[in-house]
Amino acid sequence: MGIFGALTTAVTGMRAQSFALENISGNIANAQTTAFKRMDTSFVDLIPDNIPSKQLSGNVISNSRATNSVQGDIQNASVTTYMAINGQGFFVVEKPASFADNLPVFDGIDLYTRRGDFSTDKNGYLVNGAGYYLMGIPVDSTTGNLAGSVPQLLQFNSGFLPAQPTTQIQYQANLASYPLTAAHDNGIPQSELLKPIDYTFDPTAAGTGTVVANDLTTFISNSVSGGAITSYDVSGSPVNVQLRWAKLDSSLYGGTDTWNLFYQTSSTATGTGVAWQNVGTDYLFAPNGQMAPSIPFVTLPSVIVDGISLGSVVLQHGSSGLTQFADANGNVQVNALQQNGFPAGVLQSVAVNDKGRVVGTYSNSRTIDLAQITLANFNGVDGLKRIDGGAFVATDESGPPTYNAPGKIVGSSLEGSNTDIADEFTKLIVTQQAYSANTKVITTSNEMVQALLNMLR
């Protein structure tokens, strides 16, 4: 069996090296394929059963060895829906089984890929360059929470984002210890201005919590602007909410630093018509400039501005959002003035951020989280079966998928192939030499057989 066994062994060697060459060829061919995972070759010796002194080196077989867990380089991309995975994990995708009326029909089989060159198609699906459709978990646009736990196909239609009325206004500001009202701005030295009649606002001018048009001159002269913000009613109509502060009492005259906040109810009021509304809360400040007591929020019931109803609105100040420190200009310094309402809008574009959220941008300038991209992971990641287009199928060797993989999504990026051309060329040279050596064994074995035959003649 010696000569003929050598022939057989050489053939298995040639077959194994040919298999390795095929993997090397595929790796080089896919050196520029997005998120491609190279296939290495593993060689296994086959030893015939015999006593130790008679054991042979044996034949050889070759197997593929996956590198699914080996990261490719992450490169920046200009497309906002492109994404890469830094670390462990796979995108969950599906591929249509067929198309009907130009719409994809899916068979419900989950597949997995690292290829993140997704872009929106005409139907609003996110599809990568190999034709796989992205899955994820929708986000409730009102609460921002996930609407479920099982990945589903993501589709973003260019529908309307309904208007959201203003229900909260975040308002934080510093009220000047010595407010510079119009009544003070007359060239008189500051020392002469510190008198109650000039320095504070007479609360009787507000009557029962309102300022009528006839008292506007007095009110404006003895109050300072507190800022303005555009809010929205239930239909999305804009409402300009104007704010003003009036200091009712001062500790300089034995009183307490007390302020009232007003909002404008009518910009066209005349005579005894109501122009400004007192929010009905005394804001008191201690000598250290902090509210005492703290007023974290104030509820404004039945807010109506220029005939447009906002309903109940909560002014959120926070525990220390309002202060009374000295201000060189004597004005109100607004530190935060935001509200939670917006008009209706149409979806214009989607993008993926680094938190793995699909974010929609609407015509009303709102950006809303639409979905969370789900990453799957496997205990036996190299046991996945690869199919066309850089996708994988779960197998018994890989185990079932688990979600919330530790990998992080990088927006506007793509993962490159993990093929190293220099390394593949090195393996190519070694493979070529090994293949040639096996052919030499066959040539030598043939010569030995010929010598045997010649001896018998």
DSSP category for residue 85:
E
What pLDDT was estimated at residue 208?
Answer: 53
More confident of the two residues 445 and 211 = 211
92 pairs with which residues across the strands? 112
Residue 82 near residue 413, CB atoms below 8 Å: yes
**Residue 53: band (very low, low, confident or very high) from pLDDT cuts 50, 70, 90:** confident
pLDDT at 354 over 50: yes
pLDDT at 190 over 50: no
Residue 167 near residue 314, CB atoms below 8 Å: yes
pLDDT at 195 over 60: no
DSSP category for residue 384:
P
Cα 421 from Cα 126, distance rounded (Å):
32
DSSP secondary structure of 378-447 = -TTGGGPEEEGGGEEE--TTT---EES-S-EEEETEEE-----HHHHHHHHHHHHHHHHHHHHHHHHHHH
pLDDT at 265 over 60: yes
Q: CB-based contacts of 327: which residues, under 8 Å, 6+ apart? A: 174, 176, 177, 178, 333
Mean pLDDT of the chain, nearest integer: 90
Mean pLDDT for 54-66 is 89
Q: What percent of the chain has pLDDT over 70?
A: 93
Taken in order 225, 229, 235, 236, is the CA torsion positive or negative?
positive
**Residue 432: band (very low, low, confident or very high) from pLDDT cuts 50, 70, 90:** very high
Token pair recorded at residue 358: 């699909």
pLDDT digits (tens, 9 = 90+) for 295-347: 999 999 999 999 999 999 999 999 989 999 998 888 999 999 999 999 999 99
What pLDDT was estimated at residue 203?
Answer: 47
What pLDDT was estimated at residue 186?
Answer: 45
Q: What percent of the chain has pLDDT over 90?
A: 73
Q: CB-based contacts of 351: which residues, under 8 Å, 6+ apart? A: 80, 81, 358, 359, 361, 411, 412
Mean pLDDT for 180-190 is 50
pLDDT digits (tens, 9 = 90+) for 237-259: 999 999 999 998 888 777 789 99
What pLDDT was estimated at residue 158?
Answer: 75
pLDDT digits (tens, 9 = 90+) for 71-112: 999 999 999 999 999 999 999 999 999 999 889 999 999 999
Q: How far is CA 182 from CA 8, 59, 215, in A?
A: 106, 101, 15
Cα 94 from Cα 75, distance rounded (Å):
25
* CA nearest to 376, candidates 114, 148, 180: 114
* CA nearest to 314, candidates 231, 227, 209: 231
Residue 163 near residue 344, CB atoms below 8 Å: yes
What pLDDT was estimated at residue 451?
Answer: 84
What pLDDT was estimated at residue 143?
Answer: 80
* CA nearest to 226, candidates 176, 289, 290: 176
- The reported pTM is 0.73
Residue 184 near residue 198, CB atoms below 8 Å: yes
Residue 391 near residue 93, CB atoms below 8 Å: yes
Mean pLDDT for 403-420 is 95
**Residue 197: band (very low, low, confident or very high) from pLDDT cuts 50, 70, 90:** low
More confident of the two residues 452 and 230 = 230
Helix (H, G, I), strand (E, B) or coil at 35: coil
Cα 448 from Cα 453, distance rounded (Å):
9
Residue 82 near residue 118, CB atoms below 8 Å: yes
Q: CB-based contacts of 81: which residues, under 8 Å, 6+ apart? A: 118, 119, 120, 126, 350, 351, 352, 358
Mean pLDDT for 381-388 is 96
Cα 455 from Cα 457, distance rounded (Å):
6
Residue 39 near residue 23, CB atoms below 8 Å: yes
DSSP category for residue 290:
B
Q: How many Å from the N-terminal Cα to the C-terminal Cα in the chain?
A: 21
* CA nearest to 171, candidates 304, 298, 265: 298
Helix (H, G, I), strand (E, B) or coil at 113: strand
Poorest-pLDDT segment among 132-141, 175-184, 283-292, 415-424: 175-184
